[in-house]
């Protein structure tokens, strides 16, 4: 059974449906982090094969036990999901919220919600276009929900690995060595040394701001997010797709988002799984951060275009063809698939 499309020093990319591939690969109890952005619960069919309505709700709910079983005892599931809108109406659907609720509450999965995050991206195109740019009756939908779940109240996590650079005012405070201590209007009592310890950065927030909301303020992404985004890998992927006349996956997870959770919830050598691999943002970031990874994708075309990520000249990734690639594809890596 030929399913492996390609592999690298740290990971493997398989073609197939996650429901069957996770079982075939015998991943029970081996995955430290499942990080994915499943097909969004839209009310219209897209190229990447989303289900709609109640079919979607039932489908994603039934994935919860499968994902849970694949986790280590202290592993995590992180799911990014955008908002849904009612067909032909300027009204938001509750389907995405129901999907997340039903997923985490599936009694067969034994999951709990550790924390909700918001991924804000002001660079997103105005949507839904009909109501935002044409009729001008709604604001731009510019964020996605990110839910962090686990089988335990205390999954592996360390926020010291996702520290943000200190603000200029905090750096000055540390240099000065003093500040206005005492009782605040909130009735909190701030001691004379509460803020004088240099922790090498500030704790990250649960709103992930990919670009600054206020351009007059310094953007302070966590160090891990900066290290990934500064590679300009996403630019390379997009430009190469355009050069080769390839239409890239329309719903790619931001590199910064993937790197944030991989750094936060795993250690080097841990296994990261993306059941809906697409253009393989998860695998790419895991490779950069020296985590083992497995990506699964039902759409063969997206699998071939994901190879482009690892062709980045500065990356020097060691890509090897899998059995599925040799049996199906007549081209080569340099041509970026079909």
Cα 124 to Cα 142: distance, rounded to the nearest angstrom: 6
Confidence band of 181 (pLDDT split at 50, 70, 90)? low
Q: Which pLDDT does position 330 carry in this prediction?
A: 36
Q: Which pLDDT does position 331 carry in this prediction?
A: 40
Q: CB of 279 within 8 A of CB of 306?
A: yes
| pLDDT tens digits for range 189-243 | 666 666 667 777 889 999 988 765 555 666 666 766 655 554 555 578 888 998 9
Q: Which pLDDT does position 333 carry in this prediction?
A: 46
Cα 66 to Cα 68: distance, rounded to the nearest angstrom: 6
Cis check for the bond before 128: say yes or no (omega within 30 of 0).
Answer: yes
Among 1-10, 153-162, 244-253, the range of highest mean pLDDT: 153-162
Domain ranges of the chain: 4-187+205-327
Only one residue has tokens 């922790």, namely 199
Q: Which pLDDT does position 31 carry in this prediction?
A: 98
With a threshold of 0.75, does the pTM exceed it? yes
**CA distances from residue 50 to 17, 26, 43, 77 in whole angstroms, order as listed:** 13, 26, 9, 20
Q: What percent of the chain has pLDDT over 90?
A: 57
Q: What tokens appear for 202 in the block?
A: 């500030």
Q: What tokens appear for 78 in the block?
A: 């992180």
| pLDDT tens digits for range 35-45 | 999 987 755 55
Q: Which pLDDT does position 227 carry in this prediction?
A: 56
Q: What is the mean pLDDT of residues 269-279?
A: 97
Among 82-86, 155-159, 171-175, the range of highest mean pLDDT: 155-159
CA-only gyration radius of the chain, Å: 21
Please list the alpha-helical segments (H only) found in the chain. 18-24, 53-70, 95-105, 129, 168-176, 223-229, 233-243, 255-265, 281-288, 300-306, 323-328
User: Is 300's pLDDT higher than 50?
Assistant: yes
Q: What is the mean pLDDT of residues 13-29?
A: 96
Look at the domain 4-187+205-327 and name its fold: Rossmann fold (3.40.50)
Only one residue has tokens 């083992």, namely 292
Q: Which pLDDT does position 217 carry in this prediction?
A: 62
């Amino acid at each position: 059974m030929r399913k492996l499309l390609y592999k690298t020093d740290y990971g493997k990319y398989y073609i197939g449906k996650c429901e069957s591939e996770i079982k075939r690969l015998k991943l029970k109890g081996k995955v430290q982090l499942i990080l994915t952005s499943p097909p969004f619960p839209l009310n219209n069919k897209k190229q990447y094969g989303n289900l709609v309505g109640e079919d979607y709700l039932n489908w994603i709910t039934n994935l919860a036990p499968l994902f849970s079983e694949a986790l280590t005892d202290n592993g995590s599931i992180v799911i990014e999901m955008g908002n849904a809108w009612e067909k032909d109406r300027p009204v938001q659907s509750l389907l995405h919220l129901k999907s997340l609720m039903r997923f985490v509450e599936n009694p067969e999965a034994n999951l709990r919600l550790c924390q909700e995050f918001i991924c804000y991206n002001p660079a997103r195109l105005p949507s839904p276009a009909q109501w935002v740019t044409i009729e001008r009756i709604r604001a731009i939908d510019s964020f996605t929900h990110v839910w962090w779940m686990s089988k335990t109240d205390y999954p592996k996590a360390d926020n010291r690995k996702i520290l943000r650079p200190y603000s200029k005012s905090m750096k000055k405070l540390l240099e000065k060595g003093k500040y206005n201590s005492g009782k605040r209007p909130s009735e909190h009592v701030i001691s004379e040394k509460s803020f004088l310890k240099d922790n090498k950065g500030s704790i990250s927030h649960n709103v992930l701001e990919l670009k600054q909301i206020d351009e007059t303020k310094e953007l302070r992404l966590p160090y891990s997010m900066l290290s990934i985004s500064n590679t300009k890998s996403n630019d390379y992927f997009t430009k190469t797709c355009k050069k080769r006349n390839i239409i890239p996956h329309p719903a790619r997870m931001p590199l910064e988002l993937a790197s944030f959770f991989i750094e936060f919830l795993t250690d080097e050598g841990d296994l990261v799984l993306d059941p809906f691999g697409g253009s393989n943002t998860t695998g790419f970031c895991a490779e950069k951060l020296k985590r083992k990874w497995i990506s699964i994708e039902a759409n063969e075309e997206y699998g071939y275009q994901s190879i482009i990520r690892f062709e980045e000249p500065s990356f020097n990734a060691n890509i090897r063809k899998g059995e599925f690639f040799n049996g199906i594809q007549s081209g080569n890596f340099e041509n970026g698939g079909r």
